Copies of this chain bind each other. A is one copy, B any other.
Amino acid sequence: MIIHDITVPISNRLFVWPGDRPVSLGRISKLEEGAESNVSALSLSVHTGTHVDAPAHFIAGGGTVEGLPLEVLVGPAALVEIPAEVRLITAEVLEQVDLPAGTERVLFKTWNSTFWPELEDHFRTDYVGLDESTARWLVARGVKLVGIDYLSVSSYAHTTSTHLALLQAGVVLLEGLDLSKVRAGEYELFCLPLKLLGSDGAPARVVLIER
């Protein structure tokens, strides 16, 4: 069994979505100052780094993150590589992709994966994402979880319409993946977000299992 960690590390230098709270991670109790133990504290937006979106992110009164079904967060997933020259994933692009029939979880590796190996310290708007047509295409085919290798599944110009099309259909969104070191193929996904009561999202640790 090989475990691939596809999670972005969280630190004070990790960029966040414009306007989101920056990460603050640091020791507030220190052995060297006579404390019994070292204890760190963390403050962040729940949409930081590798994270999931719950329906409540874009839908007033929508479901929150503790209600996302583990039966969707865990299970077989197809990791699909989108050619690096593609800058917007449309339904037409997906028609060219060899998505196995019955795929319920799909992770898109795109041009974005070239951003991650050396983390840039600022947010960029030219990342690759889905538009609304792609969202509807995936919903129609029974996909229940969509993952991507930047902070949003939707391209910057299509944020609300794409999120709504997916979240209204109950699709779980998994964003901020580091897919730079994994190849296209079939894996077992374990996406385990923090169990935050009433939250619109949660940071997660995510691994792909290759058996």
Contact = CB atoms under 8 A, between A and B. Distances in A.
B198 A205 contact: no
A58 B41 contact: no
A61 to B, nearest CB: 9
A195 B66 CA distance: 20
Contacts of A198: 11, 25, 40
B40 A199 contact: yes
Contacts of A193: 205
B36 A196 contact: no
Contacts of A205: 192-195, 204-205
A9 B66 contact: yes
A32 interface: yes
Nearest to A19: B29
Contacts of A203: 194
B46 A197 contact: no
A77 B182 CA distance: 27
A160 B7 CA distance: 32
Q: 4 tightest A-B contacts by CB? A: A192-B205, A11-B197, A43-B43, A192-B192
Interface of A: 3, 5, 7-11, 19-21, 25, 27-29, 31-32, 36-47, 49-50, 56-58, 60, 66, 70-71, 74, 159-160, 163, 190, 192-201, 203-207, 209
